[in-house]
Amino acid sequence: MKAASVQEIKQELRHLPATELVELLQRLSRFKKENKELLTYLLFEVHDESGFITSVKAAMEEGFVAINTSQVYLAKKTIRKVLRLTNKYIRFSGSKTVEAELLIHFCLLMKDTGLPIRKYPLLTNLFEGQRAKAEKAIEALHEDLQYELNRQMRALAD
């Protein structure tokens, strides 16, 4: 079975009555956990962006608390798990502000782990890649937000 294009799906959804749309969304939410999480975000959290950012930051902090720092391999796996979670929520929001704030927070948490990031190329590349993504997201924002987020970015340079 070949999947329809986004444009075809959009046109078909416009012709459906509201009750059928509700049924389709309910079926969609049953199949994948990520679909259900996206619907939860769109229905309940999209209106409170700051609350959403706060809850994602708390989840990130919980992930970093669970890091096993005795072996870099295990620490890297946990850091990547937290990064996957972070990127999923960034995709949900689609906002450059959310992306910049969460990536900066991720980098700060990674820096605060106490791991020798500069000693291991894997960790260095991971850290620098997320820092670069945050800088790119900041460039797309309004000047006032850029100033505030650039101040936070300077804390990463230390």
**Number of Cβ within a 10 Å radius of residue 32:** 10
Looking at residue 77, what is its pLDDT? 94
On the question of pLDDT at 65 being above 80, the answer is yes
d(CA 15, CA 51): 35
What are 21's two structure tokens?
A: 């749309």
Sequence-ordered alpha helix ranges (H) in the chain:
6-15, 18-31, 33-40, 49-65, 72-93, 96-111, 121-139, 143-157
Distance of CA 50 to the CA centre of its chain: 14
pLDDT band at residue 146 under the 50/70/90 scheme: confident
Q: What is the pTM of this model?
A: 0.85
Looking at residue 41, what is its pLDDT? 87
On the question of pLDDT at 107 being above 90, the answer is yes
Higher per-residue confidence, 109 vs 16: 109
Q: What is the mean pLDDT of the chain?
A: 89
d(CA 104, CA 131): 7
On the question of pLDDT at 158 being above 80, the answer is no
